[in-house]
Amino acid sequence: MYLVGAETGVGKSTFVNQICRNVARAGWKVVKYSLEDRMEDIAKEELFYECNRMAKKEGLPSYEWIRFVRNEYPDDAERGEKFIEHLKKAGDILGREKIVELDKQKDVTIDELVSLMEDECDK
C-alpha cells in the first residue's frame, strides 16, 4: 500500500494514475482508492489526458480542459471528427486496463481500507 499526499493542484492524481496505468500494462491487477476525487472526475481526466497524448502524437494542438469538460469539441467544425475518434479510442484503451477503483460511498479508516483491498485481492 502506498500513500501519496501533497498540496492541492500539484499533480498527485495524475502521477498516481500514470503509475497505476504503467503497472496494469505490465500485466498486474491494480486496485486504488482516491480520497478526494470522485470516480467520474478521475475517468474524465484520464480520457482527457489520453486524447491529448493522441493529439500530440499526430502533431495536433492539445485539447483544452474547459472545452473538453463542456463537451464543445464534437461540434467544432475543424476538430470535431478527430476529437470523436480520439475519444472513442481513449475509451477503448482505458477500458482494457486492469485497474479497479474502489468505490467511495463513505469515509473509511486505514483498517477498513486494508480490508477493502484484501477483499479485492481475494477476488
In a domain, 64, yes or no: yes
The span from the CA of 67 to the CA of 102, in Å, is 29
Residue 92 structural domain: 12-122
How many domains does the chain divide into? 1
**94 domain residue, yes or no:** yes
pTM of the model: 0.71
pLDDT per position as a tens digit, 15-72: 888 888 889 889 888 888 776 666 677 788 889 999 999 999 999 999 999 999 999 9
Residue 2 lies in a domain: no
112 domain residue, yes or no: yes
Give the pLDDT score at 36.
62
In a domain, 63, yes or no: yes
Grid cell locating 106? 463513505
Contact between 102 and 31 under an 8 Å Cβ cutoff? The reply is yes
